A and B are shown apart, each in its own frame.
Chain A
Amino acid sequence: MGIAFPSAEWTAAFEDAINANEGYAKAGQTWTHGKVAYVVKARPELGIDEDTAMVLDLHGGKCRGAEMTDAEGAQAADFVIVADYEQWKEVLSGEVDPTKAMMQNKLKLEKGHLPTIVKHVLASKELVKSATRIDTDFPA
């Protein structure tokens, strides 16, 4: 049985997976631009009663902390990326590339400087790669 997504346990596992990923340590070395929040939109039928966010404190190729919060708490992050549960499932399981998902309007940058995100596209891919290494239990 894997770790349920989204959950506080999964968020902690994501932090560990990022810090265990040498590819992220290299690609994210120049990331000094602040916290990134992934917001999963509410899906009550899957047990996600309200918008839920994972806030990652990323700096210099490391994740200094990760916490689960609500949509309001996510707004404290420097970058906020929002998507439906299904889109996160596709991206975080490695089925869909995050850049492609953004071009298809599946992932939306709600807050933050887009050129900075594009400049660090390799780091974004490594974050996703880290997520794919978690034994995840997606509810549907």
Chain B
Amino acid sequence: MAAIELAPGAGDNGLAVMMATMMSQNLEDHPERLPTFGRLVGRVAIVAEDADVALTMELLGGRAVVHDGIVGIPDVTVRGSAELIADLSRMETGPLGLPDPRGEVNRQMVAALRERRLRVFGMPVGLPLLARLGAVLAID
């Protein structure tokens, strides 16, 4: 079973609880994703701007700690509305586990990135980390 913990104080952060639960339940449903989870190393921050809530996922290769707010220096930071942040998990996966460019949610994401409603910092260096995290959190 994957070790996913909430850091002290993160239990009151709904976004942190959601992400920790999503990760945990997804890995339970898809044990084939465990090797990808094992390769996740780094810090990813997510900010739901309109909900005024943020988290940091500290990914330690087979273990994850979800913190309330921005903790440490994130390798990747994703900022957007609560709706767009929730949609990140709904992105459609195509062959090789990569995002399917024909997917409806994916096209909405591309438009949001283009219009700067969704912003990702730490690219392109953080791309492998973000792609792996996306593969673990995908719900399709």
- A-to-B contact residues, CB < 8 Å: 97, 99-109, 113-116, 118-119, 121
Contacts and interface: CB of A to CB of B under 8 A. Distances in A.
A113 B6 CA distance: 18
A111 B77 CA distance: 30
Interface of B: 12-15, 17-18, 21-22, 25-26, 29, 48, 50-53, 82-83, 85-87, 89-90, 139-140
Contact of A99 (B22, B52, B83, B140): B83
A96 B1 CA distance: 36
Contact of A103 (B18, B21, B139): B18
Given A97-B83, A118-B90, A121-B90, A103 B48 contact: yes
Contacts of A105: 12-14, 17
A127 to B, nearest CB: 15
Contacts of A106: 14
Majority-rule SS of B interface residues: helix
15 contacts: A99-B83, A99-B86, A100-B51, A100-B82, A102-B14, A103-B14, A103-B51, A103-B53, A104-B15, A105-B12, A106-B14, A113-B25, A115-B26, A118-B139, A119-B90
Given A118-B89, A118-B139, A104 B29 contact: no
Given A100-B82, A104-B53, A115-B89, 10 more contacts: A100-B48, A103-B15, A103-B53, A103-B82, A105-B17, A107-B14, A114-B25, A115-B25, A115-B29, A118-B139
Contacts, number: 59
B69 to A, nearest CB: 13
B82 A97 contact: yes
Nearest to B53: A103
A11 B49 CA distance: 33
A139 to B, nearest CB: 26
Nearest to B26: A115
Nearest to A100: B82
Given A97-B82, A97-B83, A104 B90 contact: no
B104 to A, nearest CB: 11
Nearest to B48: A103
Contacts of B17: 105
